[in-house]
A and B are shown apart, each in its own frame.
Chain A
């Protein structure tokens, strides 16, 4: 089954404690990205990757890091989380170009106390 998986689904942490949210896709997609969803703002792109070892900032990259060492995996790293990073996070993947649907993971609900 074609899918994007994310872990954990729910996470409560404290300010400053480093965390990683994993993302994996099994569709051999080149393009992967992370979005955060906040009420009234819709989803906004944090970082994206167009292929292995190729990553770039999206619209709201501050406080986040990513890596793309393998095509299927695209982890999101919060080195020192802060309360304003409390949000719902989505990983997504798609084929580059064309009119292709973006496949979303199930979401990770993060609370930073």
Chain B
């Protein structure tokens, strides 16, 4: 079974530029998450989708961050305009709806550097 795919793996941009990240979850996983992991910290949830609907975006800085999940499969996360403090690894995770563990499976992440 293929894992969660993310691209690009690395991105360097200047502040005030825009950037987009892409995530393809494990096939059949209805729930998709985006996390931000700042160096030296644990991942922090930005947004949670179930199919193509938003379940929780309470920690998403909506003035600059946006995310969508068209057709309930792939998702994109966009930052516009980027700030220096957005430098982090952006992790995508997915989980299936069935089963008792509700375990989340993480992708390799996109490392963003804002200069």
Real complex partners, A and B?
A: no
Binding site for B on A (CB under 8 A): none
Binding site for A on B (CB under 8 A): none
